[in-house]
Structure 1
């Protein structure tokens, strides 16, 4: 999703900052699909190395099958079902892996099921090493064509409502400003007319006074 891609990009732009976000869960038949799996270190400044392993349990099955391994900056496909269809899509050029995502090429309906991502991390301190691990589960559903979630539909509706609301507000503001300018113009004309009449009346009075004096 756009949200996932944005958060992933943000994590890279922030000089190594790490943000854990959930993976997408709906894949489309015949297309590629990113299985997102992120496990952040609690302390970014601590040196570390990590390996990532993936398992898959197809819908209707009861056991996980080992499908992919990533260690020492190299990925290995471990299951014939995914032969030439899996690619590393996580942290690049580092053994300190925090993004363990993989990419499935040419998705099929048989890829529907639960995926398990396992991080095995070793933290390196000045006097000792500490080993820790993390597991993520992602349930994937494969569909014939892309469907839009209710959240996406509501978001688009709200966007159009906001645009229409903004346009109406601009129209109201324009009408208000036009009326205000028109009223100010009419007031100025009335003031000028009154001033003109006053000057004309004064001139008449002066002319009458001169005539009487003569």
Structure 2
């Protein structure tokens, strides 16, 4: 029975690693160039430092138009629902982040029908609470995105580099998962051979 229990240890480790990789979070910078009349995604991702700890978060977006000196609250997301605060963005902002969960790590929003007045600096603010067994820990994260609206799309090097980094990170994580699965498989196979070998040795012993 003890040998059987030992066999389950690597299996559980494999399942744990697979789950962690499945829910991987990668922080990618937002594009900074929007095109007049098109849609544009304001990307804002804030990964938890402790992925295994349950949490809940709210996200608020602020905007400082070009030529202005103060940020204005434009959008708020909490309890799996969002609402537009600033009249300038009525019917033009939509949630594009984490779905069906209060444990928000992707706080991105989408601007519909971009105008030149949308040029400026956007501030994304995460207010997160980590729920430990005996206490709660509150933390926050702020990101700034400078958006320039142009009449015609011109993809910049920063956008290309960010996309490359994202794909490389995903490939590395997939390879790491594959290595872990192979290691677990070999561990299980080796553990299964030990009881069989001991039984074979016992059967070869001469009877008294």
TM-score (norm 2): 0.65
Q: Which residue of 1 aligns with 2:35?
A: 28
Alignment partner of 1:94 out of 89, 94, 101: 101
Q: Which residue of 1 aligns with 2:150?
A: 143
Superposition RMSD on alpha carbons, in Å? 1.7
Q: Which residue of 2 aligns with 1:123?
A: 130
Whole-angstrom CA distance in 2 between matches of 1:15 and 1:105: 31
Residues 123-160 of structure 1: per-residue CA shift (max 9 Å, x gap): 0000000000000000000000101335789xxxxxxx
**Are 1:16 and 2:20 counterparts?**
no
Whole-angstrom CA distance in 1 between matches of 2:62 and 2:158: 30
Give ranges in structure 1 of 5+ residues lacking alignment: 1-12, 154-214
Higher Rg of the two aligned structures: 1
Q: How many residues align?
A: 141
Whole-angstrom CA distance in 2 between matches of 1:123 and 1:94: 14
Q: Which residue of 2 aligns with 1:105?
A: 112
Whole-angstrom CA distance in 2 between matches of 1:126 and 1:40: 21
- Structure scoring higher RCO (CA < 8 A, sep ≥ 6) equals 2
Give the alignment of 1:203-214 within 5 angstroms: none
Contact preservation (8 Å) 2:75, 2:86: yes
Contact preservation (8 Å) 2:119, 2:147: yes
Residues 90-114 of structure 1: per-residue CA shift (max 9 Å, x gap): 0000000000000000000000000
Q: Which residue of 2 aligns with 1:82?
A: 89
Name the SS for the 2:37 alignment partner. coil
* Cα shift at 1:14: 4.0
TM-score (norm 1): 0.64
Q: Which residue of 2 aligns with 1:72?
A: 79
Whole-angstrom CA distance in 1 between matches of 2:141 and 2:53: 17
